[in-house]
Amino acid sequence: MTAIVAHAAPARWWHSRAVIRFMRHHLALLGIAMITLLVLACAIGPYALPYDSLHIDLRARFAPPLTGNHYLGTDPLGRDLAVRLLMAGRVSLAVGFSAMLLSTLIGTLIGVTAGYRGGWVGAALMRTVDGFLSYPSIFLVLALAATLRPSPAMITVIIAVTSWMETARIVEAEVRSLREREFVQAARMVGLRRSHIMFREILPNAMGPIIVAASLAVARAILLEAYISFLGYGIQPPLPSWGNMLNGAQQYLASAPWLAIIPGAAITMAVTSFNFIGDGLRDALDVRNDHI
């Protein structure tokens, strides 16, 4: 059965099969809902809460959750945990997103070039990728973070520089198979330049895997930022991030466990949601899965 299953073109983008398949992926929808909630809370929340994130109230130190107006309690300096959590969320999510954008950009550029050029150019680029991959990235991140001044922008760059390889490999493989398709031959036939073919003919066809890789990259970037901040090389106090909140909480683990549990839960929530979205996108964009 070949042509008989040819389907009418979708009238609107939300009628397309990919969207329909994504909407049927319940976990992915849950992920979208949780991320939207988190982002909105981080964006608006700090204005709605009665405290400033740097407001110190030594009389209210170690207040457990739900004391007075401190909905999530206070930290060892008596700062409101809810406000700090949301402010930290701004930093962590921003770092995660920007690191994803940057790493996807680097990975895509290198992947498309390596995949389309092939030959020694491709080989050299892909061996560089292998080189980066063979070095444990967590040590690389720590080494870089220890020597460079750890501002949020710098942390973003460090994370991006150590996590673009996966995107590069995915894109390279995809482009290498697209390169052999006849429409690329046709583009050469009409005399298009190489850069035009690479980025305007081939790249749009490789967007599916790139989007999937990007959604998983956000999750990993958030996690990585939490690692380095937890170890003290990342975002420096007083600027809060989920990672350094955990760092500050470790010595009070027995007396004030909520200090660790709450930022930990935020990290888990963000990372799982992005992973769910990534899974949903992978299933939705996989063309081999073309029956609804």
Nearer to another protein, 36 or 185 (CB): 185
C-alpha–C-alpha distance, residues 189 and 175, integer Å: 19
Closest approach, Cβ 211 to another protein, in A, equals 14
Nearer to another protein, 161 or 284 (CB): 284
Closest approach, Cβ 241 to another protein, in A, equals 39
Nearer to another protein, 4 or 254 (CB): 4
Closest approach, Cβ 105 to another protein, in A, equals 20
Closest approach, Cβ 8 to another protein, in A, equals 6
Q: Are 90 and 216 in contact (CB under 8 A)?
A: no
Closest approach, Cβ 190 to another protein, in A, equals 3
Phi, psi of 179 (to 5 degrees): -55, -30
Binding site for another protein (CB under 8 A): 1-9, 181-183, 185-193, 196, 201, 204-205, 287-288, 290-292
Nearer to another protein, 3 or 58 (CB): 3
Closest approach, Cβ 18 to another protein, in A, equals 13
DSSP string, 102-166: HHHHHHHHHHHHHHHH-HHHHHHHHHHHHHHHHS-HHHHHHHHHHHS---HHHHHHHHHHTT-HH
C-alpha–C-alpha distance, residues 111 and 125, integer Å: 8
Nearer to another protein, 87 or 171 (CB): 171
**Element (H or E) spanning 218, and its range?**
helix 207-230
What is the three-class DSSP state of 70? strand
Nearer to another protein, 177 or 250 (CB): 177
Closest approach, Cβ 179 to another protein, in A, equals 12
Q: Are 125 and 108 in contact (CB under 8 A)?
A: no
**Element (H or E) spanning 184, and its range?**
helix 182-189
Nearer to another protein, 55 or 188 (CB): 188
Show the tokens assigned to 239: 């600027």
Show the tokens assigned to 242: 């989920």
